[in-house]
Amino acid sequence: MKNFWQALGLNKKEYLVYKTLLQLGATSIREVAEKTQINRGTTHEILRQLKNKGLVSFQLKGKRKHYLAEPAEKLNSLLQQKHQFLNQTEKFLKNELIPQLKDQSFIPEKPVVQYYEGDEGIEKVLKDVLAIMKKTKPKEYFVFSARLLRKYLYRFFPAYTKQRIKHKIRVKVIALGKGGEEAALAQRKWLSSRNDTGSSYIIIYANKLSLISLTKDELPYAVVIREESISQTMKLIFNHLWRML
């Protein structure tokens, strides 16, 4: 495995010095420096780092220190320490740092508006609805559904309804015009209209509002607005109309 020493928290020179000590046995700094062709000052610092990591010890021979590598099995201990550190870091990130940073994150004062075009764009919007609603309580969103647009909605994402049901996401639909398929975890009411030519589809979910429509060339497009007050107002209008139907 190339550069495996990096996974153990060692750099290339530290690994070279450690391997050299294993080969030489108890050795002076001068001998290590000559063998590795690393200057003595750097060699001294590397040996200090290796000692701190538990891979090197020393013994006195007269007034001079001779350095000795710990057995190669000691690398397992180093790896375990690395695992423990990473596990602790993961818990710290998940339970403390990320929540703190999210609380301190900039919240834009102006609404965020995004534009999507074509079947691929509609697919992205539908996937966003699922991703947001999986994390939202209650898991329920609201739709104004126009008959003329329904055939365009799921062309690139035919499994959408199955995914919605799988994640136990509920939806209430006010259908503008006849039709619309019945599905699990979905409630539907119809708003009668003499004019059945509308081609707009509105999804209200969490703090977002998605407006889906068609160009004159029948190209589907969507505008997604992320703004709490707009979303809440549309929910209020939807629920009021729902009770009246």
Q: What is the pLDDT of residues 165-209, one digit of tens each?
A: 999 999 999 988 776 678 899 999 988 766 555 678 999 999 999
* Domain at 1-105: CATH architecture: Orthogonal Bundle (1.10)
Band the pLDDT of 64: cuts 50, 70, 90: confident
CB count in 10 Å sphere of residue 77: 13
Band the pLDDT of 159: cuts 50, 70, 90: very high
Look at the alpha carbons of 89, 90, 93, 99 in this order and tell me if their dihedral is positive or negative. Answer: negative
What's the confidence (pLDDT) of residue 196? Answer: 58
Would you kindly state where each structural domain of the chain is located, as residue ranges?
A: 1-105, 112-244
What's the confidence (pLDDT) of residue 198? Answer: 63
Return the CATH class of domain 112-244. alpha beta
What's the confidence (pLDDT) of residue 197? Answer: 57
Mean pLDDT taken over the chain: 86
What's the confidence (pLDDT) of residue 79? Answer: 78
Span 103-131, pLDDT tens digits: 776 665 678 899 999 999 999 999 999 99
The three-class DSSP label of residue 212 is strand
Claim: this prediction has a pTM higher than 0.95: no
As beta bridge partners, residue 27 has 67
Report the percent of the chain where pLDDT is more than 90. Answer: 38
Band the pLDDT of 81: cuts 50, 70, 90: confident
24, two tokens: 């030489």
CB count in 10 Å sphere of residue 196: 13
CB 16 within 8 A of CB 36: yes
Average pLDDT over residues 120-144: 95
What's the confidence (pLDDT) of residue 172? Answer: 96
